[in-house]
Structure 1
Amino acid sequence: MEDRKYLFVRVLEACNADCFFCGFALSRDRYRLQPDELAGILAQAAEMGVGHVRFTGGEPLMHREILPLVRVGAALPAKVSLITNGLLLPRMAEELAEAGLDQVIVSIDSGFAEQHNEYRNTPNLFEKAFEGIAEARRHRIRVRVNTVVGPHNYQSMPELAKTLRDAGVEQWELSALKLSDQITYPDREDVVRVAEAVYEGDGLIPMGKRWFGDTPEERDQYFERGIPPRSSGDVCRVTDDVMYLDPKEGYLFPCSLLPHRSTPVLYGAQVRNDDGSFTLDSPTFRERRLFFRENGANLCTGCSSSAAGYSDRAASGTPQPSWSY
């Protein structure tokens, strides 16, 4: 088994938060992936070299069978993680650990509670998230935090970096806010100044590239065209190791950033069969994977900091430790 390969699975679309930048805000969608369906999916994923499985949503902890889903993944055997806003994490961390959850990724968007709760339009979410982080660590679940950063919150990032370090968070992804309109910062130099306090400071250092780019060329592209940094090479190496399955719609994507596009047929492959089962390693998926491997570095406009950094490390031959994506 190639332990570094990843399969993301959207297990539901429902959510209990009202984040201003998210299409799933307060969704009450009824779709739920079932454990027996997941078992069939993961059996194929294992044959494709997957060793890491990550559940996404919506809010995965709203799934009433999230514990059986974690058990199915852990029995593969694979390392299992999930992405959560943290609201339900304090009371579920112990059971998740017992089910075999290896890592939890908590979404936090400010170093200040009032700001974060406002962005997510959910009272006490900041407090619950950090309570959940503490519980997860107490039960030996690895903790990562994902942050969406833009003009509204970049100035609080140094504070958040120190807060995450003090909370014992192991990894931090700090990626650019993506909206339909171009993101505009009033003062580019102030963004760079604040960022240096994060990337060169004494707090937790984010994964991958700076959200606005590491090189002058990447920074011009971001501030002038709104395109975040992506792979530096001619190919995108993320497509070698990452798949994202949306079982409700039946699409499999060769990257975890592509499902958020508005026209999935252009970016993913329909892998659901007429009987409702799935065939992951389809000819169409292989075509999509090859296309984005060869063109993503110049074509994609919605990459994340960690994905861009992952691709560059893979291209250089740098070893990729567990959960480096």
Structure 2
Amino acid sequence: MRLVSHPVLCNYYVTYRCNASCSFCDIWERPSPYVTLESARQNFRDLKKLGVRVIDFTGGEPLLHRQLPELLQEAKQLGFITTVTTNALLYPKQAERLRGLVDMLHFSLDSPVAEEHDRSRGVTCFDKVMESIAIARQLGERPDILFTVFERNAHQIRQMHEEICLPNDLVLILNPVFEYNTVETGERFTDTTLRQLSGWGKQKNVYLNEGFIQLRRDGGNKVDDPVCRAASTTIVISPENKIVLPCYHLGLKDFPIDNNLFNLYRSEEVQKLVALEGRLPGCESCAINCYMQPSFAVEVNKYFWQALPSTLKYNWVKGTWKQLF
């Protein structure tokens, strides 16, 4: 049973540029402009009309966009919930300007061991994350630690939780790595590791969407009976000011917005692609978290019920549940 028929999330790629070169990501390899404040203003108004509630300002590294605070301010004035994930290299310099503008601020950290984290990111940034945590807390911000979990680093969850998150009263978000294109992500998760992740999801100050675990046990999305609702729940906007369909990672087609996002999204050509969500050949076995999260939230099925407790827990801890009603 479908609960929500309109898009609820916008993944707004403010740039594909990045000041890191993570081994499990290929976005930083792409040339890219930056979104303009003028086009974003119009898009925000249209996103509001389409029913979107959350805008994820993403990249690349979103803090590379010099007008990110202005973009966030515009979004907040229209009542959107805002999210930003950063490698924290630029956060210490921009923290004051970002203060109060990000509802869900995530600092990426893939190991509690500095050398290992820096190696995975291709740049020295562990110390910047630690500095950013201190600055954010001084400013009254409540950042989260986004831990991209691989089979090879799952054993470090306890150390991350006990040494970094609990002492700083931070939520630890466990983000199981996903495969896409030709990006190398290492060994697949064993059943033992999946069970361990489920156990951690029940701990204090830890967020793990249990639906992610079940989907991996089930072998990902199935094109003959898809769980993915990426195109109908999530609007992807590129730095070139185009809608990307059916999602960023598959990216079969893009459409110039030309100050007409509302009508473009509802057009017959776009809706034909939306109707194919989860059913295209490239959708087989997909388990991309950023599209499954909203997919699980809009349709009542086993993934909905498995995702619900962690979603309620996180929004209660962060206080964002008040903005959802």
TM range (shorter): 0.7 to 0.9
Residue 288 of structure 2 is aligned to residue 286 of structure 1: no
Residue of structure 1 equivalent to 2:108: 107
SS of alignment partner, residue 54 of structure 2: strand
In structure 2, relative to structure 1, the CA distance for the partners of 1:197 and 1:34 (3 Å cut) is same
Residue of structure 2 equivalent to 1:13: 16
Residue of structure 2 equivalent to 1:127: 127
Q: Distance in 2 between matches of 1:238 and 1:286?
A: 13
Q: Distance in 1 between matches of 2:39 and 2:188?
A: 48
Q: C-alpha displacement at 1:57, in angstroms?
A: 1.1
Question: What is the aligned length?
Answer: 300
Q: Distance in 2 between matches of 1:83 and 1:36?
A: 23
Residue of structure 2 equivalent to 1:58: 60
Residue of structure 2 equivalent to 1:311: 295
Residue of structure 2 equivalent to 1:260: 249
**Residues 12 and 63 in structure 1, CA contact (< 8 A), matched pair in contact too:** yes
Determine what percentage of the aligned residue pairs are the same residue. Answer: 19
**Residues 19 and 120 in structure 1, CA contact (< 8 A), matched pair in contact too:** yes
**Residues 158 and 203 in structure 1, CA contact (< 8 A), matched pair in contact too:** no
Residue of structure 1 equivalent to 2:171: 170
Q: C-alpha displacement at 1:10, in angstroms?
A: 0.6
Residue of structure 2 equivalent to 1:301: 285
Q: C-alpha displacement at 1:64, in angstroms?
A: 1.4
**Residues 9 and 54 in structure 1, CA contact (< 8 A), matched pair in contact too:** yes
- In structure 1, the gaps of 5 or more residues are 222-227
**Residues 251 and 264 in structure 1, CA contact (< 8 A), matched pair in contact too:** no
For residues 125-274 of structure 1, what are the structure 2 equivalents within 5 Å?
125-162=125-162, 163-170=164-171, 172-178=173-179, 180=182, 185=187, 188=190, 191-192=193-194, 194-195=196-197, 198-200=200-202, 202=203, 204-209=205-210, 213-214=213-214, 218-219=216-217, 221=219, 228=220, 235-237=227-229, 239-248=231-240, 250-253=242-245, 258-261=247-250, 263-265=251-253, 269-273=254-258
* TM superposition score normalised by structure 1: 0.76
Q: C-alpha displacement at 1:60, in angstroms?
A: 1.0
Q: C-alpha displacement at 1:237, in angstroms?
A: 4.7
SS of alignment partner, residue 152 of structure 1: coil
In structure 2, relative to structure 1, the CA distance for the partners of 1:122 and 1:259 (3 Å cut) is same
CA RMSD of aligned residues (A): 3.7
Q: Distance in 1 between matches of 2:218 and 2:260?
A: 45
Q: C-alpha displacement at 1:136, in angstroms?
A: 2.7
Q: C-alpha displacement at 1:116, in angstroms?
A: 0.5
- In structure 2, the gaps of 5 or more residues are none
Residue of structure 2 equivalent to 1:224: none
Judge which range, 34-43 or 307-316, deviates more: 307-316
List structure 1 segments (4+ residues) > 4 angstroms apart after TM superposition. Answer: 181-184, 228-231, 237-240, 317-325
Residue 26 of structure 2 is aligned to residue 23 of structure 1: yes
SS of alignment partner, residue 173 of structure 2: strand
**Residues 244 and 252 in structure 2, CA contact (< 8 A), matched pair in contact too:** no
Q: Distance in 2 between matches of 1:229 and 1:3?
A: 21
